Structure 1
Amino acid sequence: MPYTAGPVLPARTLSDIAQPVLRTGDGLLLRPWRDEDAPAVHAAFQDPALHQWHVRSADSVEEAAGWITQWRAAWEEERSAQWAVVDSVAGELLGRVALRGILLDEGIAEIAYWTTRAARGQGVAPRATTALTHWALDEIGFHRLELTHATANEASCRVAAKAGFALEGTKRSAGLHPDGWHDMHLHARVQGD
């Protein structure tokens, strides 16, 4: 049975191009992950605050290296797109920003991010999220980007607001964290916002 509307983005929209380096214009660089980032990713995931809001932990540098391999493969498979967020001068890893759950046919993806302990409170997450959002909506042509976080995670709510993501509602008991099920805020940006 044929669809009544064509795809928003055709297959190979991402995989036909090299994953770009994105600049925030104010000192941050979003770049593809490198093998040598594994020790910094492992170190970032030793932070208890990351464990509170993320469902993964990294038990070794080798495990983090495996994630990086998976992140690069996901670009080619157009499932997700992951960037290291680094200081544009020093090159220090400050966090990660990503498009997850990519649905090219529908032009939809979910923004995700984390920052290292040392980078928190410096506006890294909203700046990186804004740069990725601009690229995804304005350059690639996604129609809608969603962002979810536990309602108890007030810092993530501030990031969403600073990056221009409107709060659309609450998904009840939608996120499982180490301490149990959490209600999740749903934020979104669409083309034209």
Structure 2
Amino acid sequence: MKSLKGFSRLELASIIAEELRSKGIDVVLSGGSCVSIYSSEKYVSKDLDFIDISLKSNRQIAAAIRSLGFENRPKNSRHFVHPDTKLTVEFPAAPLTVGDEFIPANAVHSISTEQGTLKLLTPTDCVKDRLANYYYFRDNQCFDQAILVAKSHPIDLDSIEVWHANEKQQKGYQEFLKRLRTS
């Protein structure tokens, strides 16, 4: 079993992404860990959510991540744990979307580390992802996360406005802008 002790979130995610890529599985990091990375860990997520954009089977994903020493918890789920890290690894269902908006594979951000390259949502799509969780699951913490990313990185407000209109969340867009300006 490969030791994964001492790696940062970004490094660990890069190790996992490279291992999966070596087995023909292309993943994009989404969710709270994107917020953690973009906010320099001001928000700390407890998991790494990878969306498999190569559309491999659960069995193929499980075999690939087990090669790093991860185990299913619970068995036969898309959730994995490793004794060297408190971060769990999850594989939410594809496709890669934020709300109803599909994110093409060529529209993601990449970060290179010594451990490899990690694909993740862009800061703009990370904001949309967090806002979708706020609007559709009433997770107030996700609204704060969206603001945190928007304050930490340049985002495309035009894209976010169009996304809000497509999601029928125009009032939410005004709330987002107000909070962004007053934070």
- The TM-score, its normalising length taken from structure 1, stands at 0.32
- The TM-score, its normalising length taken from structure 2, stands at 0.34
Structure with more of its chain in strand, by fraction: 1
